[in-house]
C-alpha cells in the first residue's frame, strides 16, 4: 500500500485531553488553547463534550467555551453528544460536527455511558437524525476496539458489529479507538482492515491512546492499511475517566513530526503546535508528554540562549 500524500488530523486535546484533568481548567485557558491550535492550522477541533456534568465535571462549561472560540471559515468544530440533551446543546452552540460514542464491549458501554450497546445505538439514532436534518456532520466512535479494561480481549467481529451499526445510522466518519493503548501494529492492521470491509476506508479514523508507547507505531500500521484520518492530542494530553490507567492520546506534535518525515502533508505548523503544547503543559504544571514537542522546545531554548550569549 502506498502511503497517502495528505492525512486529516482531528485535534482532540481540548476535549479528550482535558476531560480527565482533576484540577478545574478555567474557560480562559481552554479558549486560549483552542485559539493556539486554530492558529497552528487545525482543521477539525474537538472542543468539548455535551455530557452530564455529574459524570464529567470538567466539560460542564461546554456552551461557554464554544461561545468564545473563534470559528475560522472551513474549520470543523466538533463536540461529543451521547444523547438528545447533548445534541440540543451542540445545535444551540452551532457546532459543525457531533460525535456519538459507542463501545465494542458491553462492560465499557455501561461504565462510560450507562447503557448497553443496543440501547446506545437506539439513543444515538435520533441524535444522528437530528444532526443530519441540520446539516451537521456525524462522527461515530468505537471505544475499546483493541482491548477493554473490564473485559480484556475484544474480538474483531465485535468491533465490526458496532462499526456496522454506526454505519447504519449514517455516520460520515467512524473512529476506531484504542482507549487503553494496548493495541500493537499487527492487531491494528487486522482490526482496521476488517472495519474497512464493512465501511469505506477513507471515512475510517484511528484514535490511539499511548499508554503502552505503541501509538506512533499503530498510526504507521494504520497508514499501511490505507487509513488517513487520525485523532491526536496536543502535548499527548488525555485519558478517559471511565478507563482506569488509560493515559494520554498520541501527541499531535509527534504525529506531525512523523508525517513531516514521511513527506505527508498535515496542514499543521509544527512550531506553533510545540508552543501550544508547552503552554498548556506549563498551565497544568507538568512536562508535556510529546517527545518531539519537548525536544523541539529544548532546541529552541538552546538557540535563544546561544543568541543571547553572543548579543
Ligand atoms: P445517566 O445518568 O444514565 O443519564 O447518564 P440520565 O439521562 O439519567 O441523566 C442524569 C443527569 O444528567 C440528569 O440530570 C440529566 O439532565 C443530566 P439531573 O436530572 O440528575 O440533574 N444529563 C445531561 N446533562 C448535560 N448534558 C447531557 C446530559 N445527559 C444527561 N448530554 C450519560 C448517561 C450518557 C448522560 C452519562 O453517562 C454521560 O454523560 N457519560 C459521558 C461519559 C464521557 O463523557 N466519557 C468520556 C468521553 S468518551 C471517551 O473519552 C472515549 C473516546 O475518546 C474514544 C476512546 O478513546 O475510546 C471518544
Ligand atoms: Mg479517547
For 21-51, how does the pLDDT look when each residue is reduced to its tens digit (9 = 90+)? 999 999 999 999 999 999 999 999 999 999 9
Does 96 score more than 90 pLDDT?
yes
Please list the active-site residues: 240
Q: How far is the CA of 188 from the centre of ligand 1 (A)?
A: 29
Q: What is the pLDDT of residues 139-187, one digit of tens each?
A: 999 999 999 999 999 999 999 999 999 999 999 999 999 999 999 999 9
| pLDDT bucket at 311, cuts 50 / 70 / 90 | confident
Q: How far is the CA of 136 from the centre of ligand 1 (A)?
A: 21
Q: How far is the CA of 248 from the centre of ligand 2 (A)?
A: 8
Give the pLDDT mean for 219-235: 98
**Using only C-alpha atoms, what is the Rg of the chain?**
18
Q: What is the pLDDT of residues 281-297, one digit of tens each?
A: 999 999 999 999 999 99
Give the pLDDT mean for 182-201: 98
Distance CA 155, CA 139 (A): 23
Q: How many other CB atoms sit within 10 Å of the CB of residue 73?
A: 4
User: Structurally, what CATH architecture does the domain formed by 8-310 represent?
Assistant: Alpha-Beta Barrel (3.20)
- CA–chain centroid gap for 289, Å, is 15
| pLDDT bucket at 136, cuts 50 / 70 / 90 | very high
**Ligand 1 within 6 A of CB of 113:** yes
* Ligand index nearest the alpha carbon of residue 103: 1
Q: Which of 51, 95, 243 to mutate to test the pocket of ligand 1 (most atoms within 8 A of CB)?
A: 51
Q: In this predicted structure, what is the pLDDT of residue 1?
A: 75
**Ligand 1 within 6 A of CB of 19:** yes
| pLDDT bucket at 123, cuts 50 / 70 / 90 | very high
Give the pLDDT mean for 255-271: 98
Q: Report which protein residue has its CA nearest ligand 1's atom 15.
A: 52
Q: Give 17's contacts (C-beta < 8 A, 6+ positions apart).
A: 233, 234, 235, 237, 238, 248, 249, 280
| pLDDT bucket at 239, cuts 50 / 70 / 90 | confident
**Ligand 1 within 6 A of CB of 208:** no
* Ligand index nearest the alpha carbon of residue 99: 1
Q: How far is the CA of 5 from the centre of ligand 1 (A)?
A: 38
pTM flag (> 0.85): yes
Q: In this predicted structure, what is the pLDDT of residue 133?
A: 98
- Let me know how long the chain is: 311
Q: In this predicted structure, what is the pLDDT of residue 246?
A: 80
Does 245 score more than 80 pLDDT?
no
- Percentage of residues of the chain with pLDDT beyond 90: 95
Half-sphere exposure of 34 (CA within 13 A, CB side): 28
Judging by DSSP bridges, how do beta strands 137-143 and 44-49 pair with one another? unpaired
Average pLDDT of the chain? 97
| pLDDT bucket at 247, cuts 50 / 70 / 90 | confident
Q: In this predicted structure, what is the pLDDT of residue 240?
A: 78
Q: Are the CB atoms for 283 and 29 separated by under 8 Å?
A: yes
Q: Give 120's contacts (C-beta < 8 A, 6+ positions apart).
A: 82, 102, 103, 109, 113
Q: In this predicted structure, what is the pLDDT of residue 32?
A: 98
Q: In this predicted structure, what is the pLDDT of residue 242?
A: 83
CA distances from 32 to 39, 148, 203, 235, 276 (A): 10, 34, 30, 15, 9
Q: Report which protein residue has its CA nearest ligand 1's atom 25.
A: 52
**Ligand 1 within 6 A of CB of 192:** no
Amino acid at each position: 500500500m502506498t502511503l497517502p500524500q495528505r492525512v486529516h488530523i482531528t485535534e482532540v486535546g481540548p476535549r479528550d485531553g482535558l476531560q480527565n484533568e482533576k484540577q478545574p481548567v478555567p474557560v480562559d485557558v481552554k479558549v486560549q488553547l483552542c485559539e493556539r491550535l486554530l492558529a497552528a492550522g487545525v482543521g477539525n477541533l474537538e472542543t468539548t463534550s455535551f455530557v452530564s456534568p455529574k459524570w464529567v465535571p470538567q466539560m460542564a462549561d461546554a456552551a461557554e467555551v464554544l461561545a468564545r472560540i473563534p470559528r475560522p471559515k472551513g474549520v470543523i468544530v466538533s463536540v461529543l453528544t451521547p444523547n438528545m440533551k447533548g445534541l440540543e446543546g451542540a445545535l444551540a452552540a452551532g457546532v459543525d460536527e457531533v460525535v456519538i460514542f459507542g463501545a465494542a464491549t458491553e462492560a465499557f458501554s455501561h461504565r462510560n455511558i450507562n447503557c448497553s450497546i443496543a440501547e446506545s445505538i437506539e439513543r444515538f439514532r435520533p441524535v444522528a437524525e437530528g444532526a443530519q436534518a441540520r446539516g451537521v456532520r456525524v462522527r461515530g466512535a468505537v471505544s475499546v476496539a483493541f482491548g477493554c479494561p473490564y473485559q480484556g480481549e475484544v474480538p474483531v467481529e465485535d468491533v465490526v458489529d458496532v462499526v456496522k451499526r454506526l454505519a447504519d445510522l449514517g455516520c460520515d466518519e467512524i473512529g476506531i479507538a484504542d482507549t487503553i493503548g494496548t493495541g500493537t501494529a499487527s492487531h491494528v492492521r487486522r482490526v482496521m482492515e476488517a472495519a474497512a470491509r464493512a465501511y469505506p476506508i477513507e471515512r475510517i479514523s484511528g484514535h490511539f491512546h499511548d499508554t503502552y508507547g505503541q501509538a506512533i507505531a499503530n498510526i504507521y500500521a494504520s497508514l499501511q492499511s490505507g487509513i488517513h484520518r487520525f485523532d491526536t492530542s496536543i502535548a499527548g494530553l488525555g485519558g478517559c475517566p471511565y478507563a482506569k490507567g488509560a493515559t494520554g492520546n498520541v501527541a499531535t506534535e509527534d504525529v506531525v513530526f512523523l508525517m513531516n518525515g514521511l513527506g505527508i502533508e498535515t496542514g499543521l505548523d509544527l512550531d506553533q503546535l510545540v508552543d501550544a503544547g508547552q503552554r498548556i503543559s506549563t498551565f497544568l504544571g507538568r512536562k508535556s508528554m510529546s517527545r518531539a514537542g519537548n525536544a523541539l522546545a529544548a532546541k529552541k531554548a538552546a538557540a535563544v540562549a546561544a543568541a543571547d550569549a553572543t548579543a
